[in-house]
Amino acid sequence: MNKIGLIGGTSWHSTIVYYRLINEMVGEKIGIQGNPELLIYSLNVELMREQNKEKINNKYLEIAQTLQSAGAKAVVICANTPHMVYDFVQPKIDIPILHIADAIGKEAKKKSLNKLGLLGTRATMTKNFISSFLKENYDIETIIPDDEYIEQNHQYISEELTKGIFSEEAKKFYMEQMRLLRAKGAEGIILGCTELPMLIEQKDFDLPLIATTQLHAKMAADFIMQDSAT
């Protein structure tokens, strides 16, 4: 099995879900008598809240290099927003970063979805590190909430979800956002914050929901099993 390195902590709640899912998915292949070797570096979520791009880039590079030196064959960033560092970090290390948008794109194509609503932090929705990857690699268009809702989307994530608070008010808000995105032509919705699938499930809405946490974890599990599958 390939050893991978997980960069977590943003938030630790979703990092736990990644760890559990990867172990469960690999366990389905090898049996419950064993589990994959995983390296986990859990950083302080306050780094992301500082919004210092240079500091964030350098910290993720340092962590990725540490994981590579420790024997990781790939890196998994256990959150959507930190994928903003991908273009900076990937060229500077010798192992692949398994991009979360790859997992999104493959699932969307499997479901024949070409226009997706995107929910997440301010950066995830308004920067291009998810949307441009999907457009360039999968020809998938993404649409986001109207400007008046961007800040509230971000606040619910940063002030509640990443702190392990999953309120009924937050769920109602995101359900309404999904309805608005459907009205704008979305064929499916990307739950582009790794805590959102902990708040909203497929049974809650009538469009396909792209739950990034589960899909990214499966991508990691598949990479772990790559050699033994060949």
Was domain 4-99+215-229 assigned CATH 3.40.50.1860?
yes
Residue 109's Cβ-side half-sphere holds a number of Cα atoms within 13 Å equal to 12
Residue 186's closest CA among 135, 125, 126, 141?
A: 141
pTM: 0.87
Domain with CATH 3.40.50.1860 in the chain: 4-99+215-229, 101-211
Low-confidence ranges of the chain (pLDDT < 70): 227-230
pLDDT at 174: 96
- Whether residue 89 contacts residue 97, with contact meaning beta carbons closer than 8 Å, is answered with yes
pLDDT, residue 227, reads 64
CA distance 202 to 211: 9
Cα–Cα distance measured from residue 76 to residue 130, given in angstroms and rounded to the nearest whole number:
15
pLDDT at 230: 39
Q: What is the C-alpha to C-alpha distance for residues 34 and 195, in angstroms, rounded to an integer?
A: 28
In angstroms, the Cα distances linking 137 to 77, 103, 111, 133, 140 are: 19, 11, 16, 6, 8
CB 120 within 8 A of CB 157: yes
Question: What's the length of the chain?
Answer: 230
- Whole-angstrom distance, CA of residue 78 vs CA of residue 17: 9
The CATH code of domain 101-211 reads 3.40.50.1860
**What's the pLDDT at 169?**
95
Report how far apart, in Å, the C-alpha atoms of 183 and of each of 10, 33, 178, 188, 196 are. 31, 48, 9, 11, 21
List the structure tokens of 184: 């704008």
- Crossing angle, helix 212-224 and helix 100-110, to 10 degrees? 100
